[in-house]
Amino acid sequence: MSVPVPIRWALLLTVALISPVIATLFGSAGLSPETVLQCLAGQCPGATEDLIFYDIRLPRVLGALLAGGGLAIAGATLQNVTRNGLADPYLFGVVAGAGLGAAIVSVLPDYGLLPDGVSLPVAAFIGAWLSVLMVQGLAMSSWARTPEQLLLAGIAMSLMLGAATHMVLYIGEPFAANKVMFWLMGSLARIEQTHLWQIAIPLSIAVMVLWLVGRRFDAMMLGDRAASSLGVHAARMRLLGLMICATLTAVIVAHCGGIGFVGLMIPHIVRQWFGVTTRAVIVGSLLLGGLFLVWADVLARTLVSDQELPIGIITSAIGSVFFLLMMRQRA
């Protein structure tokens, strides 16, 4: 039996709103449902609970919600503008660029230019952005104009940056290599309240812009020629999509490290449930991506007792199985 689309939206919205509250219950220090409800009402039973709920658990859950939504939107946007359902920000060298930035700053001596703990995310952001600019530069050149060529250029760039990262880590000190490797595996443990705004603001702008130009992005699905004949500047729209994808991914990777497969998996499910138009995919990806990462992070916190798993391992494990199933479905 097929569930009508409006009911599916209502279900997704309800689950996306309730899940973050339930997710705050889980962690190394458990909070009871009563405590969570009291804390939500602004009346935490004690200072410890207040600290755990407001300073640790809530920022982390909200961070998962924003990062998941952002990564899913970045993936959906990239898939639209490259007309390839298998496109993912990771294929564009965004994470590899962030990794190189992080590696370089980790092996450099500390000049004290930036406060402790800030230089790595900043370097990661710059690295992610530069890698997208380089891929975009290739796309503007005469030998990577089609979406397929753009994807291949991204993969080549990703491999090149990965090699450079390994080189930097090889000649650097072993401790730095450990630090970068752990960061690349992805974790929401470092998210603080101030970081939430740094993700929320670009994410809100991206959702707004994509919603407004949604119909033009839809025309891009028919190919550049068809889009142009409908008055849509295909190259400009693709640039806009790439910039949105790069900014979202860079800011999320900078704070959370490498969290793979969300951008590939979530938009695919959303298209099957809510249709393929840009507006439906953007809103659906925002909700479902957030929801997915909230629960993936609960697994990361609880799967192994007294220890936390990097969330990137969990999303990649789920994502790679999903990817194989998708390939089987297409075959």
Partner 1 sequence: MYTEPGLETEHLSLSIQDVPLLKNISFTLPRGQVLGILGPNGAGKTTLLKQLAGETTRNASLSGAVYWQEDNVRQIPLQEKARRIAFVNQLNDSVFALTLFQVVRMGLLPHQPLFAMPVKDDDRKVLAALQRVGLKEKSRQTFSTLSGGEQQRGLIARAMLQRASLLLLDEPVNHLDVFYQHDILGLLRTLSQEQNLTAVMSLHDLNLAAAYCDQLLILDDGSLQAFGAPREILSESLLERVFGLPCLVRHEEHGTRVDFCPSPISAPQPGGPE
Q: Give the binding range for partner 1 (CB under 8 A) out of 90-98, 247-255, 270-278, 295-303.
A: 270-278
Q: Does 275 bind partner 1 (CB under 8 A)?
A: yes
Q: Does 84 bind partner 1 (CB under 8 A)?
A: yes
Q: State the minimum distance, in angstroms, from the CB of residue 9 to partner 1.
A: 15
Residue 58 vs 240, nearer CB to partner 1: 240
DSSP 42: T
Query: Least separation, in Å, of the C-beta of 162 and partner 1?
Result: 28
Piece of 172-180, 258-266, 272-280, 290-298 that binds partner 1 (CB under 8 A): 272-280
Tell me: does residue 238 bind partner 1 (CB under 8 A). no
Binding status of residue 302 toward partner 1 by CB under 8 A:
no
Q: Answer yes or no whether residue 156 interacts with partner 1 by CB under 8 A.
A: no
Buried b (16+ CB within 10 A) or exposed e, 291-308: bbbbbbbbbbbeeeeeeb
The interface region with partner 1, picked from 184-192, 223-231, 287-295, 323-331 by CB under 8 A, is 223-231
User: Do residues 237 and 222 make contact, with C-beta atoms less than 8 angstroms apart?
Assistant: no
Contacting residue, 20, 85, 162, 172, with partner 1 by CB under 8 A? 85
Residue of 55, 228, 303, 327 interacting with partner 1 (CB under 8 A): 228
Cα–Cα distances in angstroms (integers) from residue 271 to residues 204, 247, 276, 324, in the given order: 21, 23, 5, 18
Using CB atoms within 10 Å of the CB of residue 89, give its burial: 0 to 12 exposed, 13 to 18 middle, 19+ buried. Answer: buried
Check the CA dihedral 261-264-267-268 and report its sign: negative
What 3 state SS string does 214-245 have?
HHHHHHHCCCHHHHHHCCCCHHHHHHHHHHHH
In the complex, least distance from residue 230 CB atom to partner 1, rounded to whole angstroms: 5
Amino acid (one-letter) located at 170: Y
* Residues forming the site for partner 1 (CB under 8 A): 83-85, 212-213, 215-216, 218-219, 221-223, 225-226, 228-233, 271, 275-277, 279
